[in-house]
Chains A and B, each alone.
Chain A
């Protein structure tokens, strides 16, 4: 038998609400708001209340997919990233850097978001960078 709760941070937005992940038999079975947490003190929004659901979801993407015609096919990371790099390069050369935009996410760390804007500005050469909270 196993049941424990693991303090964590809600992965969805930048607020950083404290959650307790409910774990039984090594699997996430639910989430509770963390009482006494300085950000949310035992309260959550609907995203926080359901933030465990994607972890074991059957619909979760576990491999890179490349769109071909109407469908997708599985690919290796090397192939997928290679395709993204070559297409970005091609579009930049043909249409100019302003034809490309980047969207980062509150779900990523500060460091990851910093890297994406750096990549956008320094590598591609565009200020077209925004984030999911303004969608």
Chain B
């Protein structure tokens, strides 16, 4: 913990940041004084810190913040910066590498951020098992599988609420013209497919949605399919670089050539 504590202490004392968003014990917390840093921890229980940071930048329009970032947090942060939800000049990310146990539990392909201040980089392994099993099914069987999963949904909106990439002021999932209201499970398969489409070019595969789902729907597998489609069609993977424009960001200015197979 020491290299991280030292760096945060320095940033706070020099006044480069007004607060550091990390974990105190298991809980998200904004450290504003060096004396508090004894309690700083890197909890294996992940919360959407970049989403919280976006909220804090809104609450404190002058504030500059330090942010604890794992690999997944960094990918989220990058997308939030690109979508103008976080101002990059007002955030100092400090990187933490996840240990083998967490990397495996999360099925994470890149369990470390670009710059690692704390921890050792370990190689992750992305979990594709369910997707491969689904792809081996014929269409009808696969459709039945997903419909039986969607039937479990209690419409808690947890997948959307916990998602660091869900930041719209108005949400399509609450639009009665798109998805009929007043029923549980919500309209099938529209509810989940609308959300899946909206994850295109955004989902960083952090897996918080699946962790938050009380019904145990394999949401991450659904969005992995969308991630793969965006990668195959546009060569784009969300969360890798601030400079690289996302597909929906440059379709309009004429630089993009529609691939032959899509014409």
Residues of A at the B interface (CB closer than 8 Å) are 1-5, 7, 20, 22, 24-25, 29-30, 32-33, 35-36, 40, 42-46, 48-49
Check B45–A33 contact: CB distance below 8 A. Answer: no
Enumerate chain B residues within 8 angstroms of A32, measured Cβ to Cβ: 28, 47, 162
23 A-B pairs with C-beta separation under 8 A: A1-B60, A2-B30, A3-B29, A3-B30, A5-B27, A5-B29, A20-B47, A22-B52, A24-B56, A32-B28, A35-B26, A42-B45, A42-B211, A42-B212, A43-B156, A43-B212, A43-B213, A44-B156, A45-B156, A46-B157, A48-B156, A49-B158, A49-B161
Chain A min CB distance to B120 (Å): 24
In the bound assembly, the distance between CA atoms of A25 and B32 in angstroms comes to 13
Check A1–B47 contact: CB distance below 8 A. Answer: no
Check A29–B45 contact: CB distance below 8 A. Answer: no
Selected contact of B155 from candidates A5, A20, A22, A46, CB within 8 Å:
A46
Chain A min CB distance to B168 (Å): 16
Q: Which 10 A-B pairs have the closest CB atoms?
A: A3-B30, A35-B45, A43-B214, A46-B156, A5-B27, A1-B19, A45-B156, A5-B28, A1-B18, A1-B32
Main secondary structure of the interface of A (DSSP, over half): mixed
Tell whether B102 is near chain A: CB-to-CB under 8 Å.
no
Check B45–A36 contact: CB distance below 8 A. Answer: yes
Check A35–B47 contact: CB distance below 8 A. Answer: yes
Q: Are A25 and B59 CB-contacts (below 8 A) given A1-B18, A3-B30, A4-B29?
A: yes
Enumerate chain B residues within 8 angstroms of A40, measured Cβ to Cβ: 214
Chain A min CB distance to B97 (Å): 20
Closest B residue, CB atoms, query A3: B30
Chain A min CB distance to B208 (Å): 9
Enumerate chain A residues within 8 angstroms of B212, measured Cβ to Cβ: 33, 42-44
Enumerate chain A residues within 8 angstroms of B211, measured Cβ to Cβ: 35, 42-43
Query: B19, B47, B155, B213: which has the most chain A beta carbons within 10 Å?
Result: B47
Check A44–B26 contact: CB distance below 8 A. Answer: no
